[in-house]
Amino acid sequence: MPQFLIDVHVHLNNYHDTTGRPTVENVRELTSKMDEIGIDHAVVITSYKVDMNRPSAEEVIETLAEHPRMTVVEGLRWRGEFRTDLFSLEERIRDGLVKGIKLYPGYDHYAINDPSLETVFRIAAKYDVPVMIHTGDTYSKTAKVRMAHPLLVDDIAVDYPDVRFVMCHLGNPWFQDAAEVLYKNDNVYADISGLTLGEFTYDFEKYVAMRLKDMITYMGDPGRQIMYGSDWPLVHMKPYVKLLGELDFTEEQLENVAWKTAVRLFKIDEASLGTWRTA
């Protein structure tokens, strides 16, 4: 096992059986899961929608105020009736309450290279916060998956060299395209989250591990750009940590994937990692 473990991709939304559950209860469950599995820090990502089952960034920030093991990334609401107000988003970033921006192309019916996003990328560059992007298969049938294709990330990586982008879910199932975008662009990162829902069945686990190993071979130095993330509560934490162990990373790569790259990208206080174990 690596020295520390940071999960760069978790949610406090309600799915299926948890409908209507208050955010504080989801935080309690997240914290106890982190304790149980040994996750030192988690990056909590808010939704592109706000409703009874999807708390706003403001609510999540307030609920997590006393939780030093959590970092908040704000999901952008870019289409539809209630859009994110960029002035207040910028304030939350300036004040250090939000440490990154998450975009949901496909779900929110825009492509990641849509020119309207320039203002968003300028804020990310100004405060040096990463932009996380949902790439690949969408959990919703009403999303447009073409708009979430990982190859489109190359466009913005080239146009905004000062911004660091994170492709979530490695562009699943377009792993090869995602690998090329990572290999080509130093300012693009990826997380390995959400590659299955719930428990891995044995065959699928083998398939995903095989595809990821292909990518690792293709990219040359994956430790620098790939980060550990689960997509909890959509997946179970324990089998996901197990997947990390099956990817044949070298010891040095594993430390980078497990926590070092995340510390740099999200400016997480390295000295705080692991202190909860002795507290």
Among all residues, whose Cβ is closest to Zn ion?
231
Instruction: Report d(CA 73, CA 62) in Å as an integer.
Output: 13
Q: Least distance (Å) from Zn ion to the CB of residue 21?
A: 18
Nearer of residues 114 and 231 to Zn ion, judged by Cβ: 231
Q: Is the peptide bond before 233 cis (omega within 30 degrees of 0)?
A: yes
Q: Are 10 and 192 in contact (CB under 8 A)?
A: no
108 vs 253, beta carbon nearer Zn ion: 108
Q: How many residues line the site for Zn ion (CB under 5 A)? A: 1
Structure tokens at 145: 């998956």
Q: How far apart are CA 248 and CA 93, in angstroms?
A: 36
The answer to whether 135 touches 153, Cβ cutoff 8 Å, is yes
The one-character DSSP state at 201 is P
Beta-strand ranges (E) seen in 2-104 are 6-10, 41-45, 70-75, 101-103
Distance of CA 67 to the CA centre of its chain: 19
Least separation in angstroms between CB 118 and Zn ion: 25
* Residue (194 or 253) nearer to Zn ion, CB: 194
Span from 49-57, 148-156, 224-232, 246-254 in contact with Zn ion (CB under 5 A) = 224-232
Q: Which is nearer to Zn ion, 10 or 253 (CB)?
A: 10
123: number of Cβ within 10 Å: 18
Verify binding: residue 154, Zn ion, rule CB under 5 A. Answer: no
For Zn ion, the closer CB: 180 or 231? 231
CB 145, min distance to Zn ion, A: 15
CA 64 from chain center: how many Å?
Answer: 17
Compare residues 54 and 253 and give the one whose CB is closer to Zn ion: 54
Shortest spacing between CB 235 and Zn ion, in angstroms: 9
Min CB(271)–Zn ion separation in Å: 28
CA distance 194 to 212: 13
Would you give the binding string for Zn ion spanning residues 108-147, x where CB under 5 A is met?
A: ----------------------------------------
Q: Between 226 and 265, how does the x/- string for binding to Zn ion read (CB under 5 A)?
A: -----x----------------------------------
C-alpha to C-alpha distance for 30 and 45, rounded to whole angstroms: 13
Minimum CB distance to Zn ion, residue 9 (Å) = 5
**Is the CB of 74 or the CB of 231 nearer to Zn ion?**
231
How far apart are CB 45 and Zn ion at their closest, in Å? 6
- DSSP code of 260? I
CA gyration radius, the chain = 17
Query: Where along the sequence are the contacts to Zn ion (CB under 5 A)?
Result: 231
